[in-house]
Amino acid sequence: MNLAVFGLGASGIGHDGGGLVAIPFTNSHQLASSTAVYPGVTSAVAHPLGVQAAVANFGTSAHQATILLSDGSGPGTQRAVATLNLAPGSISLVDLTGVISRASTNASLVVTADGAPGEVISGIQALGQPNTPSASVTLPWKDLKQTVNGGQHPWTIGGGVTSTVMLFNPDAKTANSVTLSIHAGKNTWSKKIAIAPLSTVAVRINDIISRQEPDDKKNTLPRGSVEGMVGWFTLAMPRIFGLLSQNDPAGGSDKIFACGDTIVLCSMSLFDTDVSVGDTATLWPTISSCGTDGDCNCVLSCSTGGSLSRVWLSCWTFRHEYAKTDCQIVT
């Protein structure tokens, strides 16, 4: 991660049609599906001049893409707001300003496409007001079939900033729940959040502190808390996608974060086991793990199982001048 690459694109929306937005580059070889999920878009674009989607076809044949809005909970609340026929090597812009402005406060977008993963790539931008402190924001998105099923980021509510965690379940049939953990200094607030099919749930950190809302263990965060770490995680299916939205009404700016969740294996132990020369064995140790601040520092004390519940050792013994056993940790 010594080099971060971004592009600049003309927005095509606004009083002069000449605004610029940042577009993160995508490694298409890491994608597992042709569906991009944009959780909590209505909270993430609190102060935009407009909202636009850019959908590009990098393939050598024509493809079709559909933009879906999930506005509510359960089947029947997701509807198509745009269908695009993309020629090879073409890009289409869609003005979503009206769609987003008429949606509920808790809504999410999904962009689906035919073709192989990486052939059709989308990006959505919230465009800032001209001649104001507001800035254009490129919304983060997740691959529908990505392995990572969680996220974390520093939060703040200082200076009138509102911090909201948006959690979206894109599955049309199955509900799921996420463990949401908010850390402020040495204090931790942790609660399991249920998310119905095609539902977006908003959790305002400001309200949790000001209203002294208790977590699942009746813990509360100190009233004076203004910053810390927040993380959400589940190993269960279907995948839940989330982001942290920080809105500054005074400055008219929005900041969106959707970093991946980082877990540390604190320790593990297991009974002595004999592995014959030339054989392989799978061992299941007792483990202790914790969620981190993204830099391998625990934000929760290490506990049995913890954020990481499955670890095993693959061990094999071979003879090369002398008998030797090697083991590999698998998570």
Asked whether the predicted pLDDT for residue 15 surpasses 50, the reply is no
**276: pLDDT strictly greater than 60:** yes
Q: List Cβ neighbours of 320 (8 Å cut-off, separation of 6 or more).
A: none
Q: Tokens representing 131?
A: 């001649």
pLDDT band at 10 (very low <50, low <70, confident <90, very high): low
Strand-strand pairing, 187-195 and 176-184: antiparallel
More confident residue, 95 or 315: 95
Secondary structure letter of residue 59 according to DSSP? S
pLDDT tens readout for residues 209-235: 999 999 999 999 999 999 998 888 776
> How does strand 137-138 pair with strand 120-127?
antiparallel
Residue 147, pLDDT > 90, answer no
Query: Using CA atoms, how far apart are residues 93 and 127, in angstroms rounded to an integer?
Result: 13
- Give the C-alpha separation, 75 to 49, whole Å: 31
Radius of gyration of the chain measured on its C-alpha atoms: 23
**62 or 42: which leads in pLDDT:** 62
Residue 37 has pLDDT above 90, yes or no: yes
Q: In the structure, what pLDDT confidence band is assigned to residue 145 with cuts at 50, 70 and 90? A: confident
Say if CB 195 and CB 180 are below 8 A apart: no
Total length of the chain: 331
- pLDDT at residue 168 in the model: 93
Q: Which helix (H) or strand (E) holds 52?
A: strand 50-57
> What domains can be seen in the chain, in order of their start residue?
6-142 (2.60.290.11), 150-257 (2.60.290), 263-330 (no CATH)
Question: Is pLDDT at 7 greater than 70 in this prediction?
Answer: no
Mean pLDDT of all residues in the chain? 80
pLDDT band, residue 129 (cuts 50/70/90): low
Extract the tokens encoding 54. 């850019």
- On the question of pLDDT at 289 being above 90, the answer is no
Percent helix, strand, coil in the chain, to 5, is 5, 50, 45
Task: Give 93-119 pLDDT, tens digit per residue.
Answer: 899 988 988 888 889 999 999 989 989
Tens digits of residue pLDDT in 179-214: 898 989 888 899 999 999 999 999 999 999 999 999
pLDDT bracket for residue 260 (50, 70, 90): low
Smallest Cα–Cα separation from 83: which of 124, 43, 113? Answer: 113
Q: Is residue 329 pLDDT above 60, yes or no? A: yes
- Give the predicted TM-score (pTM) of the model: 0.75
Percent of the chain whose pLDDT exceeds 90: 31
Residue 26 vs residue 48, higher pLDDT: 26
pLDDT tops 60 at residue 3: no
Using 50, 70 and 90 to split pLDDT, how confident is the model at 1? Answer: very low
